[in-house]
Amino acid sequence: MNWGRAKTILIILFLLIDVLLLGFLFVVKNGANYINEETARDTTAVLNAHNIKVKKEQIPLRRVDKKILYFENLAATPEKAAELFFGENYKASVENNCKVYSNMEESVTIEKSTILYENNRKISPCNSFEQIKKAVLFDLKKFGFNEDEIILKSGDIKNGVCYVQLMQKYEGIEVNGTEMIIEADNLGIIKMHGRLFDLKRVENTYEKLPDVTSLLVNMIYNPDYNGLEIKDIKAVYYIPSQYIDGAEVCAYPVHAVTGDKNEQYILEEY
């Protein structure tokens, strides 16, 4: 018997088995990362049959990693918030039981869990969000915000002032509860008000969010959703309202449904 040839055949067989196992693992992992299109189609049919209007294309097929974000609420550390806006050059005082930090025309007021930044210069009227976007981003960068970690949503313009909503994001996903309202003109930010959070650490659970199709189907058992026309379905990070004013908060990923009137519903697994 030619043992050299037999050894070669065995090696080739083992390599083929390894390739088959790797292929099997890839299929299993890929299946865990994505929702089957047929499942999305069946989910759409069930929802529409129960008077919840949705299109198959609106159902995200890629499943999201379940990561937990831990934030520090900067209103709980006022000096740190002041340094974010002014560096080390500021004066501190107390007005109406609120801590106030100022530098020339600018001031930061800490009231409970919110922060108000104001620039008391003369207003330079603007006509559109696009006109002031570059100046706003410049100011935000100066205040420690990275452009790839925030979302800016344009709003109304009143008396030459543009009202913009700022929201923090992580890996492209919005963090609900981190909204701040910005008032800006041609020269940049005039006012900025809301909760300001600093991301301290991220915990990877090595799990995936629950299959969104199962959460969507559960909507048919809630009469509040009857007649809802779904505009958008996406994953968001969510800070529960009962904890949002804490010195330290955590945000966890959930699926959110937005209706045609821009109302948002959080779909959680119970």
What is the rounded distance in angstroms from the CA atom of residue 129 to the CA atom of residue 33?
38
**pLDDT value at residue 104:** 87
**pLDDT value at residue 15:** 46
Token digits of residue 191 = 């006012």
Token digits of residue 175 = 């963090």
What is the rounded distance in angstroms from the CA atom of residue 141 to the CA atom of residue 173?
20
Report strand pairing: 248-259 vs 91-95: unpaired
Query: Which helix or strand (DSSP H or E) is residue 68 part of?
Result: strand 65-73
Angle formed at CA 126 by CA 123 and CA 132, multiple of 5 degrees: 100
What is the rounded distance in angstroms from the CA atom of residue 266 to the CA atom of residue 27?
31
**pLDDT value at residue 254:** 96
What is the rounded distance in angstroms from the CA atom of residue 146 to the CA atom of residue 148?
6
Within a 13 Å sphere around the CA of 24, how many CA atoms are in the beta-carbon half?
A: 6
Token digits of residue 247 = 């010195």
Within 8 A by CB and 6+ apart from 256, the residues are 176, 233, 234, 235, 236, 238, 264, 265, 266, 267
Q: What is the pLDDT along the chain (270 residues), one digit of tens a residue?
A: 455 555 565 455 444 443 333 333 333 334 468 898 999 999 999 999 999 999 999 999 999 999 999 999 999 999 999 999 999 899 999 998 899 999 989 999 999 999 999 999 999 999 999 999 999 999 999 999 999 999 998 778 999 999 999 999 999 999 999 999 999 999 999 999 999 999 999 999 999 998 899 999 999 999 999 999 999 999 999 999 899 999 999 999 999 999 999 899 999 775
What is the rounded distance in angstroms from the CA atom of residue 19 to the CA atom of residue 191?
60
Phi and psi, residue 142, nearest 5°:
-65, -30
